[in-house]
A and B are shown apart, each in its own frame.
Chain A
């Protein structure tokens, strides 16, 4: 696979200029995720109004794919409910499996990431932000 196809312009743009980067000062929910394979780490902070995520930030120490994924996720989850994004996260996970071919319309915008799934060693990089999101959702439930 060539660089052009794996590092799509969109991904690189997100990696270079990540959206919603940093930490919220007074978050309602907060979770960290760690990739023990490479030492990458990420902190996600969310602000809620009711069930809806109305603001978020990610603080990432990671590779371009990890940063881009966190940035794309942030754009994606804003103004959605926690249960909605949890469902999306599950769909994203499923689409990263080797044997899944179809990408549901709901996560079409994540296609540049999903296209990288042949690089199995990078799946964790893509999932790190989403893992933190699932952690936040779990905290909220309890």
Chain B
């Protein structure tokens, strides 16, 4: 079995990778959906519940102070990981979806009016689309779609072109919401340039970093984006924890998201006043154990090294692209060049439904996803209802990709006459 240096170094850190599925070693190729957890993350959850568990803030006893410290130190290490200068700009949520909903509800609904426009792209995940539809419907604004380049057999397939954006950036645009990396096409978008163009016209930008966070360095200060959202579980951390970064100016424009404990300054009988950010946006008992797990995950990723991860993923992607080129009955969506894309590859085996293909792969222990991957607009644009998606993590090996291509032969045998 061919071992990539990074994969062989880290594989032992992930206990789940020892599992066999249907008598085959697990080949986990569904990292765009969620990543597996290293021991250090599992241990940090265990340690929190076995040693420090209590609620945060307002407790004067030792455990409460420890829990509060873990929670606030977590905020600081997460701020550092994404290049935020102040941990006060980090709001904890349940995930990317809640982070974006928070902005749609606490910011957009109060700052949009009839006739305003929100630019989204055709490649957005439903989580960066539906909240804007809801905000638009509530405020009388409308969504404008930045199209992807056509499926025309060229190498520039599934990209966002900046010239197109230039035309869309009119005075009525009040927000641009864009993903850093497509969860279907694998496209890496030129976020820095996009933010720069939008800011030239005073338009705030929200970046969906759900797929980017585990695959490339994130620097919110360098990017100068207004909002950035990601989930812990896609960067080797626990589920149920997400992050919203918001710039100071935007935080000041935001109304509370949910009401409850922890987000108030003073409560009167008829009305209340709000705590400062970020507590203003964190009503209720926060996910303390999950924050500790996320901090452990980000430390793990930093130790492995984001540039190592990028190199590893590029090699896997290049290998997969070469393998795709061998088969005329495999249709791969998205850019065909590793310069424009990362290790998220969606495809179809001609005349075999993605569900069927994925089921056959599972019988060989290969975990991939089949469906529209929460991107119905994009799949409509691609002209297919669904696709099979493989997506890489730091522990994946070239041999696992080869196993996938071999198993597709079994799908051909079963489903094609």
Contacts and interface: CB of A to CB of B under 8 A. Distances in A.
A38 B414 contact: no
A contact residues, range = 20 to 34
Interface stretch (A59-67, A78-86, A99-107): A59-67
Given A37-B371, A39-B371, A39-B379, A3 B410 contact: yes
A62 B353 contact: yes
A98 interface: no
B386 A39 contact: yes
B363 interface: yes
A16 B417 contact: yes
A39 B353 CA distance: 11
Nearest to B357: A63
Nearest to B376: A39
Contact of A6 (B353, B359, B386, B415): B359
A134 B360 CA distance: 31
Interface string A62-74: 1111100000000
B415 A64 contact: yes
A3 B385 contact: no
Given A37-B371, A39-B376, A63 B355 contact: yes
Interface in A18-67: 37-41, 61-66
A3 B370 CA distance: 18
A3 B355 contact: no
A42 B142 CA distance: 31
Contacts of A3: 360, 363, 410, 414
Contacts of A64: 353, 355-356, 415
B372 interface: yes
A41 B414 CA distance: 23
Given A2-B363, A39-B372, A63 B385 contact: no
Interface in B399-416: 410, 414-415
Interface string A121-135: 010010000000000
Nearest to B416: A16
A21 to B, nearest CB: 15
A12 interface: yes
Tell me which of B354, B359, B371 has the highest count of chain A C-beta atoms within 10 A of its own C-beta: B359
Interface of A: 1-3, 6-7, 12, 15-16, 37-41, 61-66, 119, 122, 125
29 contacts: A1-B22, A1-B363, A3-B360, A3-B410, A3-B414, A6-B359, A7-B414, A15-B415, A38-B354, A38-B355, A38-B370, A38-B371, A39-B379, A39-B386, A40-B385, A41-B385, A61-B385, A62-B353, A63-B353, A63-B355, A63-B356, A64-B353, A64-B356, A65-B355, A65-B356, A66-B353, A119-B359, A122-B355, A122-B359
Q: Which 9 A-B pairs have the closest CB atoms?
A: A63-B353, A63-B355, A39-B385, A38-B371, A39-B372, A64-B356, A39-B386, A63-B356, A38-B386
